Amino acid sequence: MIVEFKQYDAAQLQEIKTLFQNTFTDSEGEAEGKMVSELAYEALTTTDSQDLYGFVAMDGETLAGSIVFTRLMPANGAKAFLLSPVAVATSYQKQGVGSALINAALDVLKSEGVELVFTYGDPNYYGRVGFKQISEDVVKAPCKLSFPEGWLGQSLVSKEIEAIAGETGCVAAMNKPEIW
């Protein structure tokens, strides 16, 4: 298997939505599959291009995975993005595709001057690609967290994330309390 990592093409939008739907339905049930696929689709179709990065993992013509990054706006003006959501097709899971896709995307973001990256998810999974649990005393999440131990971040420019006082904003697609 040779997987290529690249920025998504708008022609792949429906295929990406289906990937999220199928992947999350397989692992979390139909309601979660519908919610996450609509979240990914909304982020990719309603977010201004300068506030969005979308990446895919391709095995030939087959979409093996996809991730979405949308801009976060910390109070200090740091260039920051939120990694959410991530999907790897069920048949490609447990083969390193997700980690490799995230690492390839982080390299692109770093090369484009992004300073901080955050996500909200499983600390064990995201810890494999450099994310560490952070307290909202360090950087406040854009919405109230239902699972505070899932608030994770990493600096692409230094060893630690410096504390940032004040509120953090996010793009409209992610500004939904029910997903936090």
pLDDT grade for 175, boundaries at 50, 70 and 90? very high
In the predicted model, what is the mean pLDDT of the chain? 96
The amino acid occupying position 33 is G
Q: What is the mean pLDDT of residues 76-103?
A: 96
pLDDT above 90: residue 97: yes
pLDDT digits (tens, 9 = 90+) for 116-167: 999 999 999 999 999 999 999 999 999 999 999 999 999 999 999 999 999 9
pLDDT digits (tens, 9 = 90+) for 53-65: 999 999 999 999 9
What pLDDT is recorded for position 2?
74
pLDDT at 98: 96
H helix or E strand, kind and range, residue 67: strand 62-73
> Over 70: is that where the pLDDT of 1 sits?
no
